Amino acid sequence: MSETVSATPCPPRRHVLVVGNGMAGARFAEELRRRDAEVAVTVVGEEPHEAYNRVLLSTVVAGTIGPRETRLKPNGWWAAHDVTVRTGVRVTALDVTGRTATLTATADPDPEVVRWDELVLATGSDAFVPPISGATDDLSVIAFRTLDDAERLVAAAGSAHHAVVVGGGLLGLEAARGLLGRGVHVTVVHPAGHPMDRQLDVDGGAVLSRVVQSLGARLALGRQVAERRPASTDAPGAVVLDDGTKLPADLVVVAAGVRPRVDLARAAGLDVGRGVVVDDRLHASHPHVHAIGECAEHRGEVPGLVQPGWDQARVLAEVLSGTDPDATYTGTSVVTRLKAPEVDLTSMGRVDVGVHDAGHEVLAFTDPVRGRYAKLVLRADRLVGAILLGVGDAAGPLTQLYDTGAAAPRDRLALMLGRAVTRSGGAEAVSLAEMPGAAVICRCNTVTKGAIVEAFRAGADTATAVAEATRATTGCGSCSSAVDGLCSWLRSADPSSPAARPEPDTRPGTPPETVPEPLEEGAA
């Protein structure tokens, strides 16, 4: 006699919906999957592309790499790791009480309602376009923010002779450098008295101005664009500044800052300031709703760079996966880097301190003819701020000193030059070999020295292998020399490791297919 056995139905998988397929949203999905193999993860984004590295967009404009090489993951990676990614999909409504989202796809206008257990807002920012008369609906005015914008710029640069870049911040200068490399005459219009005024003091800004002008760009400082005059049969395209100056312009690039995307959150009734207000665990004002990246406001601050969003993604993944339910995000020490051909600039921490400030020790070196400027700000023998322009060799060691909060070496000249000081006569060392394991080597991916050493000992004995195992060097690429140096030191310290060998190109433009990133080995 047969017996019927009723199968117990499996409980539905907990569903985490990520709104925003940018760098923060994609990183969170990866971090969560690495910690929780069971949860269902869906990422939706309005752009038609899977997640890509926005840091590399100016490199696309310069022609160094193509759009395809900006992707964060190779084809099929997300599906292989059981993460559903839906591109070209917009969230048109949220019901945070009923835990549903209404989705509308570009290819299918019929709305779809999906349920979620946890919602992560990673909607990012939109480009801020200042009020410029005549700019609306002018196809030659491009707000530089997305991969599609970069491709439009590349196409427009092919026929443009004169371009005006509105904004002399990080992105504006990188866009200008890319257009100069394509043979376009460029004028940068910036409302402050020197470019990158949020990251540089007056003297550093003056040296940077000379560097930018030496590359062929013109600067219109302390000015704003008031009017756009498109080309006509009678006159070429132009812009008019607020003082009446007229500049030729076949192309206008807007890089004047960003505004967090908070409309969806506001309509859902969440607390919104400049961004979606979150606590130290990245929780928004409604249970089961969270926010990270450029749309999130944490302790009154809204991040404008990549690393804070990635740090937040890691913390939230710890919380939602249960790996560390009490994990908290307390902030990120931001380091800004301008990496463009013939321009090497790093700025970190307090830079607005005067040389004669009584509460700080300030070291300064100015060489405007050669485009070099260095300023170090110390307090209680710790580095709390720095500007490093044209002194790239010093940027790596000084960034590590800033990150770790270690005591600065007494030889201040060696400190300013970024030279490693060996332990001799009581002098402190700041070399890679003597950095603590917690020192962050790759800030883009939050990869520590300890993670690199661990990967090396597990068999990743080249910079290329380290990139595969930890993601170090795959962001902006400015840590490549530090990773190379650390690998060289580890090889010399371990006679059993394979001998040094020529390595493939690991610059940030390397296609993802040649630098696979196994989920199990991620170290961020």
- Report d(CA 331, CA 506) in Å as an integer: 30
- Report d(CA 173, CA 171) in Å as an integer: 6
- Report d(CA 16, CA 420) in Å as an integer: 47
- Report d(CA 351, CA 372) in Å as an integer: 16
Q: Which CATH architecture has domain 342-429?
A: 2-Layer Sandwich (3.30)
- Report d(CA 453, CA 433) in Å as an integer: 11
β 251-254/162-166 pair status:
parallel
Give start and end residues of each alpha helix (H) in 111-241. 147-157, 170-181, 202-214
Task: Please count the other Cβ atoms lying within 10 Å of the Cβ belonging to residue 379.
Answer: 16
Per-residue H/E/C for 242-283: CCCCEEECCEEEECCCEEECCHHHHHCCCCECCCEEECCCCE
Rounded to 5°, angle at Cα 473 from 470 and 477: 165
First to last CA, the chain: 58
β 343-349/361-367 pair status:
unpaired
Instruction: Tally the residues of the chain.
Output: 524
Which of 278, 272, 19, 27 lies closest to 124, judged by CA? 19
pLDDT at 427: 35
pLDDT at 152: 96
Enter the DSSP assignment of 53. Answer: -
Which of 148, 192, 147 lies closest to 166, judged by CA? 192
Q: Is 34 in a helix, a strand, or coil?
A: helix
Give the domain ranges of the chain: 15-125+259-321, 129-256, 342-429, 440-509
Which of 258, 192, 209, 194 lies closest to 54, judged by CA? 258
Domains 15-125+259-321 and 129-256 share a fold: yes
* Predicted TM-score (pTM) of this structure: 0.84
Which of 52, 77, 75 lies closest to 65, judged by CA? 52
Query: The tokens 């190379």 sit on which residue?
Result: 484
pLDDT at 508: 42
Per-residue H/E/C for 358-405: CCCEEEEEEEHHHCEEEEEEEECCEEEEEEEECCHHHHHHHHHHHHHC
Residues 6+ apart with CB under 8 A from 12: none
CATH number for the domain running over 129-256: 3.50.50.60
Going from the C-alpha of 348 to that of each of 10, 146, 334, 335, 368, the distances in angstroms are 51, 26, 6, 5, 20
Task: Give, for all 524 residues of the chain, the pLDDT tens digit.
Answer: 455 555 556 567 899 999 999 999 999 999 999 999 999 999 999 999 999 989 889 889 988 889 998 898 889 999 999 999 999 999 999 999 999 999 999 888 789 999 999 999 999 999 999 999 999 888 899 999 999 999 999 999 999 999 999 999 999 999 999 999 999 999 999 999 999 999 999 999 999 999 999 999 999 999 999 999 988 888 889 999 999 999 999 999 999 999 999 999 999 999 999 999 999 999 999 999 999 999 999 999 998 888 899 899 999 999 999 999 999 999 988 889 887 778 889 999 999 999 999 999 999 999 999 999 999 999 999 999 999 999 877 887 888 788 878 899 889 988 888 774 333 333 333 456 666 676 678 776 667 888 899 899 999 888 888 988 887 887 666 677 778 888 888 888 765 544 334 344 444 444 333 333 333 333 33
pLDDT at 378: 97
- Report d(CA 56, CA 113) in Å as an integer: 35
Please give the full DSSP string across 1-28, using - where no structure is assigned.
-----PPPPPPPPPEEEEE--SHHHHHH
CATH topology (fold) of 15-125+259-321: FAD/NAD(P)-binding domain (3.50.50)
- Of all helices (H) and strands (E), which one includes residue 337? strand 335-340
Which of 260, 261, 259, 266 lies closest to 93, judged by CA? 266
- Report d(CA 93, CA 239) in Å as an integer: 39
Q: What would you measure as the largest C-alpha separation in the chain, in angstroms? A: 97
C-alpha dihedral over 365, 367, 368, 374, to 10 degrees? Answer: -30
pLDDT at 423: 38
310 burial (CB, 10 Å; 0-12 / 13-18 / 19+) is: buried
Cβ distance 442 to 472 under 8 Å?
Answer: yes
Q: Which CATH architecture has domain 440-509?
A: Orthogonal Bundle (1.10)
pLDDT at 473: 82
